[in-house]
Structure formats: C-alpha cells, structure tokens
Amino acid sequence: MGALEPWHLILILAIVLIIFGPGKLPDIGKAMGKTIKEFRQASSGVTIDDLQGKTKPAQDQVEQASEQKETPAKTS
C-alpha cells in the first residue's frame, strides 16, 4: 500500500476545498504553476529576458569580459 492512494488524494482535495473554498482554487493553481515555471527557469539558468532575446546568454557575457581584460587600453 502506497502513501498516496486514491482515497488519500480525495481526502486532501476535500480538506483544501473546505479551507480555501472553490472560488480560490483557480488562483492557487495559477500561483503554483507560476512558481513551478520560475523554479524551472532559475534551476536551468535561463531567465525570461533570455527567452525574449533582451539579454545575451551568460557565457557570451563572460567571454566578452575576458576579451576586454586581455586587450590593453590604448593611451595617448
């Protein structure tokens, strides 16, 4: 017998309905979905700006910084 049998899940759902009510469940689901999406993006190192093309990937920024350090500054 597993810990999450169908009767356990039904009991948990009933308790959640009693506590939050049916009107709040869509908001809770939306918030949980957003949280999971943000967690996955953060754990993979990709940001929303990267997906929209607003910023360069971190590796490109590191390479540019190392190139700037290697290039001596021109003085007059």
For the segment 59-75, the average pLDDT, to the nearest whole number, is 60
Asked if residue 50 belongs to a domain, the reply is yes
Confidence check: pLDDT of 17 > 70: yes
Closest CA to 58 of 47, 69, 70: 47
Asked if residue 76 belongs to a domain, the reply is no
Asked if residue 58 belongs to a domain, the reply is yes
Asked if residue 9 belongs to a domain, the reply is no
Proportion of the chain above pLDDT 90, given as a percent = 20
For the segment 32-53, the average pLDDT, to the nearest whole number, is 79
Domain hosting 59: range is 22-65
DSSP type of residue 4: S
Domains: count for the chain: 1
Q: Which H helix or E strand runs over 11?
A: helix 6-20
Confidence category of residue 6, pLDDT binned at 50, 70, 90 = confident
Q: How far apart are CA 9 and CA 15, in angstroms?
A: 10
Count of Cβ atoms closer than 10 Å to residue 10 Cβ: 10
**What is residue 20's predicted lDDT score, i.e. its pLDDT?**
87
Asked if residue 39 belongs to a domain, the reply is yes
Confidence category of residue 41, pLDDT binned at 50, 70, 90 = confident
